[in-house]
Amino acid sequence: RRFTYLDHRTQTYQQETLSQADMLRRVVQHIPEKHFRMIRYFGFL
């Protein structure tokens, strides 16, 4: 699969081609563990 992303260092759009297994590995890294609590925002009350 090919996807496009913005490289913040160079401020240009880059394309990268990955296999389905590699793409799935990258997506799964962002799934929190079952007991993990996510904080959606932080600030003063």
2-27 pLDDT, tens digit per residue, is 889 999 999 999 999 999 999 999 99
Which parts of 1-45 fold into alpha helices (H)?
20-28
Does residue 17 belong to any structural domain of this protein? Answer: yes
pLDDT at 15: 96
- Give residue 12's pLDDT: 97
Look at the chain and report how many structural domains it folds into: 1
pLDDT at 44 over 80: no
Say if 44 falls within a structural domain: no
pLDDT computed for residue 45 by the predictor: 60
- Residue 25 belongs to some domain of the structure: yes
Domain span holding position 3: 1-30
- Give bridge partners of residue 7 from the DSSP assignment: 12
∠ CA(40), CA(37), CA(27), 5° rounding?
80
- 21 assigned to some structural domain: yes
Handedness of CA 33, 25, 20, 8 (dihedral sign): positive
> Does residue 41 register a pLDDT over 90?
no
Average pLDDT of the segment spanning 23-44: 85
- With a threshold of 0.85, does the pTM exceed it? no
